[in-house]
Structure 1
Amino acid sequence: MEYCPTWLFWLGLLLPALLFFLLIRKRTKLPPQPPAWPVIGNILDLGTTPHQNLHNFRAKHGPVTWLKLGSVNTMVIQSAQAATEFFKGHDFAFADRKCPHALTALNYGQGSLAVGRYGGYWRVLRRLCSVEFLVTKRVNETVHLRQKCVDNMIVYLEEEMAVKQVTTEQGIDLSHFLFLMAFNVVGNLVLSRDLLDPKSKDGPEFFDAMNRFMEWAGKPNVADFLPWLKWLDPQGIKASMAKDMGRAMKIAEGFVKERLEERKQRGEMRTTNDFLDAVLDYEGNGKEGPRKISSQNIIIIILEMFFAGSETTSSTIEWAMAELLHQPVSMKKAKDEINQIVGLNRKLEESDTEKMPFLQAVVKETLRLHPPLPLLIPRNAIKETNFMGFDIPKDTQVFVNVWGIGRYPDAWENPLTFKLERFLGSKIDYKGQNFDLIPFGSGRRMCVGLSLADRVLHLGLAKLLYHFDWELSDGLTPETLDMRERAGIALRKLHPLKVIPKKRSV
């Protein structure tokens, strides 16, 4: 028997495996990918404004781009055509989510609607939120609550002006007041209370904890791209999140206990008709999700309502005001329309905004140029899928660059210009079917709060324009106003909008 060299033996074993791997790889067609570094892949390509940098790849790599973010396979959708195919043809295949490492703190991701895995519990939660909280009938019934919160914002602005005697050098930070308004809207719908007023004991602390919560959630985390670093938490983001989320959870737990005690005293009858009562009353059938929602998950749902409903709404109104101050002629047209519909001697009602096409165009154009979540919340592939001729592996993360889609010149004339006329007389809306304009997403995981956000955006903006005349502070002019962006949990102005509100001239 002849002796077989060791190296020949191993070659005989490895060669078939290598050939098989090469054949499989050859059959797998991935979207075009920019050059990547070893280990970290394309992480550095994201930069501080990922939506902008990814948009720049489109000219060279086309409407579907492939990235390797550390060890995470990532596909980027960059055109309305690709978005149409994605949401209409493959919505289920990409219905899952990857939970960011920061939001795994205290098991938040397991009870979340926004970042929870697709499955029975998620479908139960989605249905509950849609039917009990954000269905059109329920939104119509709560108009008085939104009206109250927006009216309070106007009062707070007037008080701030009186106390600080605002000057052209000083101004006020409008984003702060917008966030308080949005926070109180959610507080009234979920808990039937104003959380930020002089009578609120826990409100200010809850507000501070949620503010920190959102700050940690918006920070880029290397552990999301290099999973073997999760145990180390190199930036301390998860540990910091756990601390501030824990504070918010403790206060939310107090709200729930207080409500349970009220119900106990009244024989389990509803004391209010808010979302917390709806969750406490929930009885499932056990087939999809639990028969009762756990105490831990009720608290997570409450936090999520504030998490999702405050930052995005307030940032959009801030951008709308910035764009109007940047274009005084458009500001005047919007104010003239409001005055024509409402007059000067009666209260502006939410229903009035339905008769204001110019105001509606302002909101649409703002959402086109400044979508609150420029890459939406990333989707995740449930299974291996052939998408537009590409072989997309299971567990691929998907960004939909709605910021880039809203600026594509083939779809939008002069796409970088704030041009309200493009929406006057147009039937384009942002309800998820016009894929050139999908700031709230589309399909199964479309933003469940769209109907509520739509009402608050129009009412909040209309009230600001109706009650005040606005000037820029710090010596800024419409031409010198800084319109640069900063990315976080929502797309904010790099520098908060500092303004001087003056009681309107009659």
Structure 2
Amino acid sequence: MDSTAALALLLAAAAYLYLAALRRRGTNNNLPPGPRGLPLVGSLPSLDPQLHAYFARLAARYGPIFSIRLGSKLGVVVTSPALAREVLRDQDLLFSGRDVPDAARSISYGGGQNIVWNPVGPTWRLLRRICVREMLSPAGLDSVRALREREFRATLRHLHAQAAAAAPVDVGAQMFLTTMNVITGTLWGSTVGSDAERAAVGKEFRHLVAEITEMLGAPNVSDFFPALARFDLQGIRRKSDVLKERFNQMFARIIEQRVRAEQAAGEPPAPDFLEYMLKLEEEGGDGKAAFTMTNVKALLMDMVVGGTETTSNTVEWAMAELMRKPRLLAKVREELDAVVGQDAVVEEAHLPQLPYLQAVLKETLRLHPALPLMVPHCPDADATVAGYRVPAGSRVFVNVWAIRMTAYSLAMLLQAFDWELPAGARLDLEEKFAIVMKKATPLVAVPTPRLSRPELYSA
């Protein structure tokens, strides 16, 4: 195709999109108020990288519900608790659809195999039941308490060694590794045998999760102009495919190790989440929905990606806020000393007796929610919210940041150590928007032991 023909085709496509936008404008009566935007691109040129803060500024101008044109897609943003309840509770079935980003469709095995991007239906209910009953139930959590205690003790020993050397610690990175070890140990703890093997798997997953969250948070032309998605103009889908294949290879190795261990022992291995899912996969599902090996991999990815960044980021934010407010930090320490003392190490059993610590975490999540915009919802049919029409197929954001558990990790860090910034360092609370809320600058601090007996750190 010569340059003249290519230019003509481009102009024809632009004219088509412009006329389509005019037709939509004529029929989109009673939409929520919002910025007019430009032809074709809407408000894309004015988007702020801190999308949650940008939406909050628009809410201050247009009200608790507003619409915004993002390329050829219509976005509707709600920023009040009452409207969030209307979308997420009162009309939950209507808004249960998902507007799956192009990159997420690839990384999640087609967008309909996991919990996050699956619309409500038999498959979604089966996947949710698997997670709630087998992994997140009180019995399931109690069954792996020893594993959690072991990983936290390992973190305690590592931090004590860093403190002895007066070495700074990247709090977020350390909590990510601890959380990753707990989650992967819960998922397939009896499969990956040695501590060295678990550490290697955890390190590999950490790099993968960081790449995935960064990719999912990047603006993608394919999401704003679905008609152009087939061309993958930014190469994001290709990158997503590469990351998915790396996950596939890791999961395949883990599942193969499980099968070999079972064959060598001549009996089933100790039960864990992976064992339950493999058994269900052999049975083909629950009779109402199929359950395949693709579902197994997609659920494992949900657990690994969804449980690590959110937990470690929340602990890092809480530590940063407390170091910025010494008076509140002293109150947390007073509570920990009264309940646990300095002659013992905090345990999960102490957590119900630490209401002030729990309040600190809740306030942290209010100020720095793990998912500031939640997962975008997509109504299956035209809906009405606060008297405004929300057309079918709109991308609906609930801006939790504008509305404004991890207790064990925070309790351990604060009860066992004093923390201070390295010489010359400055504490900042600047945010970095992505699929999850991160600190723009990692919190790096120097721990100092505060327990009464050194042997408590190596128990």
Give TM-score scaled by structure 1 length. 0.79
Is the contact made by 2:382 and 2:391 (CA closer than 8 Å) also made in structure 1?
yes
Cα distance in structure 2, aligned partners of 1:498 and 1:372: 20
Q: Mapping of 1:398-413 within 5 angstroms?
A: 398-406=396-404
- Equivalent in the alignment of 1:420: none
Asked if residue 469 in structure 1 is aligned to residue 415 in structure 2, the reply is no
Cα distance in structure 1, aligned partners of 2:410 and 2:74: 40
Q: Mapping of 1:275-290 within 5 angstroms?
A: 275-282=273-280, 283=283, 288-290=288-290
Is the contact made by 2:177 and 2:203 (CA closer than 8 Å) also made in structure 1?
no
- Equivalent in the alignment of 2:271: 273
Q: Secondary structure at the match of 1:41?
A: coil
TM-superposed CA distance for 1:372, in Å, is: 0.5
- Equivalent in the alignment of 1:185: 182
Is the contact made by 1:210 and 1:244 (CA closer than 8 Å) also made in structure 2?
no
Q: Mapping of 1:123-162 within 5 angstroms?
A: 123-162=125-164
Amino acid at match of 1:151: R
Cα distance in structure 2, aligned partners of 1:297 and 1:499: 40
TM-superposed CA distance for 1:484, in Å, is: 0.8
Is the contact made by 2:97 and 2:120 (CA closer than 8 Å) also made in structure 1?
yes
Q: Give the one of 440, 451, 454 matched to 1:494.
A: 440
Write out per-residue CA displacement over residues 478-506 of structure 1, whole angstroms, 9 at most, x where no aligned residue.
xx521110011211111110101111164
Asked if residue 238 in structure 1 is aligned to residue 187 in structure 2, the reply is no
Kindly tell me: are residues 286 and 360 of structure 1, through their superposed partners in 2, closer, same or farther at Cα, counting changes over 3 Å?
closer
Cα distance in structure 2, aligned partners of 1:297 and 1:23: 40
Q: Which is further off, 216-225 or 63-72?
A: 216-225
Q: Output the aligned Cα RMSD.
A: 2.4
TM-superposed CA distance for 1:208, in Å, is: 2.6
Asked if residue 483 in structure 1 is aligned to residue 429 in structure 2, the reply is yes
TM-superposed CA distance for 1:35, in Å, is: 2.2
Is the contact made by 2:171 and 2:442 (CA closer than 8 Å) also made in structure 1?
yes
Write out per-residue CA displacement over residues 99-126 of structure 1, whole angstroms, 9 at most, x where no aligned residue.
2111222635231211223332122111
Write out per-residue CA displacement over residues 161-214 of structure 1, whole angstroms, 9 at most, x where no aligned residue.
44x642xxxx32111101001111111111116799534454433433333233
Is the contact made by 1:108 and 1:300 (CA closer than 8 Å) also made in structure 2?
no
Amino acid at match of 1:236: G
Q: Secondary structure at the match of 1:261?
A: helix
Is the contact made by 1:83 and 1:400 (CA closer than 8 Å) also made in structure 2?
yes
Is the contact made by 1:101 and 1:223 (CA closer than 8 Å) also made in structure 2?
yes
Asked if residue 104 in structure 1 is aligned to residue 105 in structure 2, the reply is yes
Cα distance in structure 1, aligned partners of 2:24 and 2:157: 68
Is the contact made by 2:83 and 2:385 (CA closer than 8 Å) also made in structure 1?
no
- Equivalent in the alignment of 1:61: 62
Amino acid at match of 1:297: N
Amino acid at match of 2:334: D
Is the contact made by 1:380 and 1:396 (CA closer than 8 Å) also made in structure 2?
yes
Cα distance in structure 1, aligned partners of 2:80 and 2:100: 25
Cα distance in structure 1, aligned partners of 2:246 and 2:83: 42
Amino acid at match of 2:288: E
Q: Give the one of 314, 317, 325 matched to 1:319.
A: 317
Structure 1, unaligned stretches of length 5 or more?
Answer: 1-20, 407-453
Kindly tell me: are residues 25 and 211 of structure 1, through their superposed partners in 2, closer, same or farther at Cα, counting changes over 3 Å?
closer
TM-superposed CA distance for 1:285, in Å, is: 6.1
Cα distance in structure 1, aligned partners of 2:43 and 2:312: 32
Write out per-residue CA displacement over residues 139-159 of structure 1, whole angstroms, 9 at most, x where no aligned residue.
233222222222222222223
Write out per-residue CA displacement over residues 413-447 of structure 1, whole angstroms, 9 at most, x where no aligned residue.
xxxxxxxxxxxxxxxxxxxxxxxxxxxxxxxxxxx
Structure 2, unaligned stretches of length 5 or more?
Answer: 1-22, 453-459
- Equivalent in the alignment of 2:171: 174
TM-superposed CA distance for 1:229, in Å, is: 2.6
Moved over 6 A (4+): 21-24
Asked if residue 342 in structure 1 is aligned to residue 340 in structure 2, the reply is yes
- Equivalent in the alignment of 1:441: none
Q: Which is further off, 152-161 or 334-343?
A: 152-161
Cα distance in structure 2, aligned partners of 1:78 and 1:195: 47
Kindly tell me: are residues 346 and 143 of structure 1, through their superposed partners in 2, closer, same or farther at Cα, counting changes over 3 Å?
same
Is the contact made by 2:432 and 2:440 (CA closer than 8 Å) also made in structure 1?
yes
Q: Secondary structure at the match of 1:399?
A: strand
TM-superposed CA distance for 1:312, in Å, is: 0.4
Write out per-residue CA displacement over residues 363-383 of structure 1, whole angstroms, 9 at most, x where no aligned residue.
110011000100111111122
TM-superposed CA distance for 1:284, in Å, is: 6.1
- Equivalent in the alignment of 1:443: none
Cα distance in structure 1, aligned partners of 2:96 and 2:391: 14
Cα distance in structure 1, aligned partners of 2:304 and 2:70: 30
Is the contact made by 2:343 and 2:451 (CA closer than 8 Å) also made in structure 1?
no
Q: Mapping of 1:194-209 within 5 angstroms?
A: 197-200=195-198, 201-209=200-208
Give TM-score scaled by structure 2 length. 0.87
Larger helix fraction of residues: 2
- Equivalent in the alignment of 1:460: 409
Is the contact made by 1:371 and 1:403 (CA closer than 8 Å) also made in structure 2?
yes
Cα distance in structure 2, aligned partners of 1:280 and 1:404: 41
- Equivalent in the alignment of 1:503: 449
Cα distance in structure 2, aligned partners of 1:156 and 1:54: 41
Q: Secondary structure at the match of 1:231?
A: helix
TM-superposed CA distance for 1:299, in Å, is: 1.6
Cα distance in structure 2, aligned partners of 1:354 and 1:71: 49
Is the contact made by 2:72 and 2:225 (CA closer than 8 Å) also made in structure 1?
yes
Q: Secondary structure at the match of 1:85?
A: helix
TM-superposed CA distance for 1:276, in Å, is: 0.5
Kindly tell me: are residues 387 and 468 of structure 1, through their superposed partners in 2, closer, same or farther at Cα, counting changes over 3 Å?
same
Q: Mapping of 1:325-404 within 5 angstroms?
A: 325-404=323-402
Kindly tell me: are residues 203 and 108 of structure 1, through their superposed partners in 2, closer, same or farther at Cα, counting changes over 3 Å?
farther
Is the contact made by 1:40 and 1:69 (CA closer than 8 Å) also made in structure 2?
yes
Amino acid at match of 2:177: L
Amino acid at match of 2:338: Q
